[in-house]
Amino acid sequence: MRVLDGKLKLFRGPAGESCAECHATGYSPSSNIGGYDDAARRHGVKVPLRPAKGTYDKLPQNVKDVSNVYCLACHGPGRLDPPIAEQPGLFGVGVCARCHDRLPEQTFVHEWRQAKHSKTISNKVNGPEKRAECARCHSAQGFYYGNFAIARPHSTRTAILNCCETTQPITCQACHNPMRATPHKQIYRFGRMKTGSGLSLDLAGAAALCATCHNADNDPSVPSTLTERLAPHAPQADLTYGRAGFSLPTSAPIGKPEGRTCVTKTKHGCVTCHMHNGPTPGKRGHLKVGGHTFLTTSSKETGRVENIAACAKCHPKRKRFDAQAKGDFDGDGAVELERDEVRGLLALLKRGLDQRIVARNYLSCDAESSPAVSFVRGTREKIVLVNVSKHDLGDCNKNGVIEREEKPFTFPDPDLLLHKAAYNYLVVKRDGSFGLHNYPYAVRLLQRSVAALGPTPSSWTPHR
């Protein structure tokens, strides 16, 4: 036990007996549940005034049995009910928060509450997180059963049951396995994996766990992605590793969309930046960025703070994530910050696609509906065409759902180029970093898409 051997260091001073509440099993002075305090009292064991190495080794075996964090610390009497037959444990954050939400030393759960991982998609009784296809990444139960519970054949079906516990967001137990030690922080996946989008990772460290969900789901090199008109879902890993979209042909002097960014050269990939230690106590942004917030930039409500520390090792002069671009990549006549150039390219590509969609005069199955004016990622993960009311042209009764004999309205075969350009647009848009995850790749992908539709701005700087 770290308390007895003097290994526990606190911000507030020396460790005391009350630390056993988290560092032992069943510590509860107000009740007799057979925990550490009860065993220690029976054998006359007290926390020494001067903890020293070797104290733990001298304890009676009955006290040793409860002087560390064992199974019953979480599953024992007075804590949590034992898990039901088909579950490895409860997925709620509460069991971890009892010890890991104690400021100033334990900040994990406090940070997690700032993250999107702490929220389900809708928080509704029958929201999207209850669907099998969504639960795999949008609920703790779904993430575990859909990706790691190999010996449980019901897998994702169990994730959407609501008989026994409320569907949880991505809580601690979704990523960490407290039952066994693994190569890094007890996480379920480390170093090597292959995503649903076809991305193979060998030395990605902890980023392999993130890539389990943060991938496009679809592979542009697989024919079905095109024939079924599929859309990218969460393409962060694919864009970061330089293989997210369609490389469209063009005569313009633009480099191929390929290459990997500096984050792929780090030990833990995306974790290196998104979980880097945040500002220390007393500093602006403390507990608002870094760590288990997974945020590199805090929200406007809490005051914008960029956690640039992860970049300092290689870019000591960098003061913010956005650097000045090396050219007018969007052709608007000004050399702006890098992300503004990507925003300009996205707007340029979207405008070009919408113009061509309007010119095609795609008509809905409902004769009274207006023709298509744009595209979105729609039903069944497809890129669909929508009218001015944002309805899929295949939604004949305009109830917002593709049902019965209806079919999503996708780009027809003669317009596959438009579908590919729309796919590339959604790759960069849904990635959400506006190029920071892989700036050369994002710029080249967008520029080649604009050039493939033609014409290109005469004033832009082609990214070679």
| pLDDT tens-digit series, residues 362-395 | 998 877 788 999 999 998 899 999 999 999 999 9
Q: Measuring CA to CA, which residue among 435, 437, 440, 443 is closest to residue 270?
A: 437
pLDDT confidence tier of residue 12, bands split at 50, 70 and 90:
low
Strand partners of residue 187:
176
Domain end residue (candidates: 152, 175, 198): 175
Among residues 175, 194, 215, the one where a domain terminates is 175
Write out the DSSP string of 116-143. Answer: GGGS-SS--TT-GGGSHHHHHHHSHHHH
Residue 131 contacts by C-beta under 8 Å, 6 or more apart in sequence? 160
Number of structural domains the chain divides into: 3
Burial 194-211 (b: 16+ CB within 10 A, else e): ebebbbebeebbbbbbbb
32 with 139, same domain: the answer is no
Say yes or no: 112 and 159 in one domain. yes
Asked whether residue 70 falls in the same domain as residue 157, the answer is no
User: Using 50, 70 and 90 to split pLDDT, how confident is the model at 85?
Assistant: very low
What pLDDT does 133 receive?
Answer: 78
Side-chain-side CA neighbours of 121 within 13 Å: the count stands at: 14
The confidence score (pLDDT) of residue 130 equals 72
> Is residue 257, in this structure, part of any structural domain at all?
no
Identify whether 460 is part of a domain: no
Residue 459 lies in a domain: no
- Is residue 206 a contact partner of residue 268, using CB atoms and an 8 Å limit? yes
On whether both 368 and 423 belong to a single domain, the answer is yes
Give me the half-sphere count of Cα atoms (radius 13 Å) on the Cβ side of residue 264.
19
Q: Does some domain include residue 423? A: yes
- Sign of the torsion angle spanned by Cα atoms 78, 80, 86, 88: negative
Nearest one of 56, 27, 50 to 39, comparing CA atoms: 27
Averaged pLDDT of the chain:
86
| Mean predicted confidence (pLDDT) in 77-91 | 49
**Crossing angle (nearest 10°) for helices 338-360 and 439-453:** 30
Spatial separation of the C-alpha atoms in residues 99 and 389, rounded to whole Å: 50
Could you list the residue range(s) of the whole structural domain that residue 37 is in?
17-75
The mean per-residue pLDDT over the stretch 43-70 comes to 81
What per-residue confidence (pLDDT) applies to 78? 53
Interatomic CA distance for residues 162 and 142, integer angstroms: 12
Q: Is residue 299 part of a domain?
A: no
- Residue 106's SS3 state is strand
- Name the nearest CA neighbour of 446 among 428, 430, 434: 428
Residue 187: phi, psi to the nearest 5? -80, 155
Q: Is-contact 319 305, C-beta < 8 A?
A: no
Q: What is the DSSP letter of 252?
A: S
> Residue 101, class by beta-carbon neighbours within 10 Å (0-12 exposed, 13-18 middle, 19+ buried)?
middle
241 in a domain, yes or no? no
Torsion of CA 449, 455, 461, 464, to 10 degrees: 50
Look at residues 206, 180, 213, 178 and name the one whose alpha carbon lies nearest to residue 192.
206
- The answer to whether the beta carbons of residues 284 and 303 sit under 8 Å apart is yes
Q: Which pLDDT does position 124 carry in this prediction?
A: 66
pLDDT band at 80 (very low <50, low <70, confident <90, very high): very low
Which pLDDT does position 126 carry in this prediction?
Answer: 64
pLDDT reported for residue 415: 97
Q: Of 175, 204, 229, which closes a domain?
A: 175
**Structure tokens belonging to residue 246:** 């369609």
Long-range contacts of 181-188 (CB under 8 A, 24+ apart): 184/268, 188/144, 188/147, 188/148
Average pLDDT over residues 445-460: 95
